[in-house]
Amino acid sequence: MGGVCDDVVEEVLKVVWPKPMKLFTAGPVACFPEVLKAMGTQMFSHRSKEYRELHKDTVERLTKFLEVKDGVVLLFPSSGTGVMEASIRNFVRPGGKVLVTIIGSFGKRYRDVVETNGRVPIVLEVEPGNPVTPEELDDALRKHPEVEAVTITHNETSTGVLNPLKELAKVAKEHGKMVFVDAVSAMGAADIKFSEWGLDVVFSSSQKAFGVPPGLAIGAFSSEALEKAKSIPNRGWYFDVLRYLRYQEEQWSTPSTPPIPQIIALNVMLRVVDRMGGKYEWLKIYEHRAKKIRSGVKSIGLKLFAREGYESPTITCVRAPPGVSGLDIYNRMRERGFELAKGYGQFKKTTFRIGHMGYMPDEYIDEMLRNLKEVVEELSKSSSSA
């Protein structure tokens, strides 16, 4: 049977895409046209020669992109949180302590992951909107020399803040600690020099700055961390990093079935990066978008949530004007065909967010900002006359 039920595709598409939308989401984000084209391909075995070639090439391209000189990049059939959990189960002793830095909701998730895996989180939390400073980290590590590792959210998606990762990692290394980095909404948009900065674990998901659908996680691991994993009992099965390493070394594959379409798509995007002139040229695209969106938002008279100098390259968190709900802005923009992101957690009403990731031509940004201005004016007017 084949091709006899084309209309069911239309039925489903009507459910998921009832009308055209331009995405400014926090992820999943709009995929690049090259990705959508490549993902339509027929499947093949993950134990085939063709898969091995795809896997090897993707890992080599990521190794170069992340500047991994002493360590390895592995691919996981999960979202990013899977590797967050793997970092704790593989590299921290049961009952061991971890300094968890929290600058927003995803730092809190890391704390919960530490706790639910039977390790002990020591929390360094700052006021939302701020990054962690190297001085604060240094101080916390002086007070808690017993911790085995430090976790850092590279880019806090809930507040739109980019942590000074290089400087924080330097402090952690001066104290001899392993550094675990949640780079879910940073990798592919903010620079990461894995080995030079002394990072031990860095992970991300496919559905963010690489503009690929969800389902694939990427993890980079230092040789030192991999060595330590050998002494950690009960690493589990599904996220046993040493098992992934063995499968990759022996057969350029994964222990269980990988999300082949996402790996094809990521491979396509890493080639696009090369065609555009390499990593640093690619990162400029994100810098350009972030600046354009931030200055557009400010020219409407809105204020950013992030402390100046630490604004995210992938998501702008905006304070809703007085008397106006961020949720209303989100809903009105949706009615006009622009899917932004709602404020996260406790900031649902007081903020809204504009994602910069994935497929996003400049004209979409201009159009979105024009509409945002009108929506903010409409809502401000109705709130002042109420």
Ligand X SMILES: Cc1ncc(COP(=O)(O)O)c(C=O)c1O
What would you report as the CA-atom Rg of the chain, rounded to the nearest whole angstrom?
Answer: 21
Q: How far is the CB of 16 from ligand X (least distance, A)?
A: 19
- H or E stretch covering 217: strand 217-222
- Cβ 318 to ligand X shortest distance, Å: 17
**Which amino acid type is present at position 362?**
D
What CA–CA distance (Å, rounded) separates 155 from 309?
A: 13
Question: 253 vs 314, which CB is nearer to ligand X?
Answer: 314
For residues 160 and 353, the answer to whether their CB atoms sit within 8 Å is: yes
In angstroms, what is the minimal distance from the CB of 81 to ligand X?
Answer: 3
Residues paired with 204 in a beta bridge: 218
Least gap, CB of 153 to ligand X (angstroms): 5
Q: Which is nearer to ligand X, 110 or 252 (CB)?
A: 110
Residue 102, phi then psi, degrees to nearest 5: -125, 120
Residues engaged in binding ligand X (CB under 6 A): 26-27, 79-81, 106, 153, 157, 182, 184-185, 205
DSSP-H helix ranges across the chain: 6-16, 33-38, 49-65, 80-91, 105-116, 134-143, 165-174, 223-229, 241-251, 260-275, 279-299, 326-335, 362-385
Residue with Cβ nearer ligand X (222 or 312): 312
The answer to whether 327 touches 349, Cβ cutoff 8 Å, is yes
Select 182 or 240, whichever has its Cβ closest to ligand X: 182
Report strand pairing: 217-222 vs 71-76. Answer: antiparallel
Nearer to ligand X, 90 or 157 (CB): 157
- State which residue, 71 or 80, has the beta carbon closest to ligand X: 80
Backbone phi, then psi, for 3, in 5-degree steps? 70, 10
Residues 208, 358: Cα–Cα separation, whole Å? 7
| Smaller CB separation from ligand X, 75 or 324 | 75
How many CB atoms within 10 Å of residue 112?
12
The identity of residue 363, as a single letter, is E
Residue 107 CB, shortest distance to ligand X, in Å, is 8
CB 233 to ligand X: min, Å: 26
- Please say which residue, 226 or 357, places its beta carbon nearer to ligand X: 357
Closest separation in Å from C-beta 195 to ligand X: 22
Beta carbons of 160 and 312 less than 8 angstroms apart: yes
Joined together, the tokens standing for residue 219 give: 């993890």
Q: Determine how many CB atoms are found less than 10 A away from the CB of residue 71.
A: 21
Q: What are phi and psi of 303, to 5 degrees?
A: -110, 145
Task: Report the residue number, 289 or 332, with the smaller CB distance to ligand X.
Answer: 289
Cβ atoms of 310 and 323 closer than 8 Å: no
Query: CB of residue 386 vs ligand X: minimum separation in angstroms?
Result: 34
- At closest approach, how far in Å is the CB of 334 from ligand X? 19
> Closest separation between CB of residue 43 and ligand X, Å?
23
What is the secondary structure of 155-175 as a DSSP string? Answer: EETTTTEE--HHHHHHHHHHT
Alpha-carbon gap, residue 216 to 63, rounded angstroms: 16
Closest to ligand X by CB, 186 vs 264, is 186
